[in-house]
Amino acid sequence: MRKLALAVIFFTVSNSLLAQDSITNSRLTLALQTYYQIKDALAADDNRSARKNATLFIENLNGISYKIISEGNVNTLLIDAGTIANTDNIEKQRVAFANFSANMILLARNQKLTDKPAYIQYCPMKKASWLSNEKDIENPYYGSKMLTCGKVAETIQ
């Protein structure tokens, strides 16, 4: 009887942990999609959409399980997104996006965020990279001034 009770407790705890991991993975997928929307907004010179999506990114990442991503890494991403969310100045948003992208690239390399490929793209003028869900270049650092400046540097499967 005692073994059965322990088995039930173990099963319940295991299912609870799996559910937490599933919620965390879904939040990470949403965070990546929101990151892409920030990138698209900056490429389109749309500072308001960048702000709005940075705020959504923060909402998606809040409450994430630190078992999957360390608290320090989550806080770094929240600070990066917060900088974008708290300014209307697109040039300041783009500066913050460079650091934000470097941290998202590290996360994407170490954690499966999506079943689709993520493309690490690089702008030689800015000497900075970003993630994209498409192979086509839409440069978030220069927007309409140099929209297609860059190259695909790596693909994360």
Task: Please give the Cα distance from 32 to 88 (Å, whole number).
Answer: 22
Domain boundaries, the chain: 2-111
Q: Is a pLDDT exceeding 80 seen at residue 12?
A: no
Place of tokens 């959409």: 49
Task: Please give the Cα distance from 33 to 31 (Å, whole number).
Answer: 5
- pLDDT, tens only, 92-145: 999 999 999 999 999 999 888 888 999 999 999 999 999 999 999 999 999 999
Q: What is the pTM of this model?
A: 0.83
- pLDDT, tens only, 19-72: 445 555 788 889 999 999 999 999 999 999 999 999 999 999 987 888 878 888
pLDDT band at 2 (very low <50, low <70, confident <90, very high): low
